[in-house]
Amino acid sequence: MLGLVAMRADIGVDEEHQSGMYFCRFSEDAQLATSSKKLYIQNNVTIGAIMLPLTKANKEFQMQYSVIYSDWDILRANGSKDLPEISYDLFSI
């Protein structure tokens, strides 16, 4: 059995843009959490994702994450999943 922790993106709550990525607060959704057999999850999960935490030196972690999906799309500020765009702020002097 595998346990799944369901996380909800709280779009617009404590949001920030860093390095061209959108970060927002995530919270646990206990109603969606479940446990299932590994084979069931393998057969029914169609796309994976990694959550990247936004941490800042000498500051308490605020549960802010960005999401990169396994097809390289990212979480956008409007809650959609789409291709990333170039952040020209990264190249400014």
pLDDT in 10s for each residue of the chain, 93 residues = 666 777 889 999 899 988 888 999 998 887 777 777 777 777 777 778 899 999 999 999 999 999 999 999 999 999 999 988 877 777 776
Whether 93 maps to a domain, the answer reads no
50 located within any domain: yes
Domain count, the chain: 1
What predicted TM-score, i.e. pTM, was given to this entire model?
0.75
Domain that holds residue 24: 2-84
Segment holding 50, helix H or strand E: strand 49-53
Q: What is the pLDDT of residue 93?
A: 66
From first CA to last CA, the distance across the chain in angstroms is 51
Contact status, residue 90 vs residue 19, Cβ threshold 8 Å: yes
Alpha-carbon separation of residue 75 from 39, 40, 45, 67 (angstroms): 27, 26, 18, 5
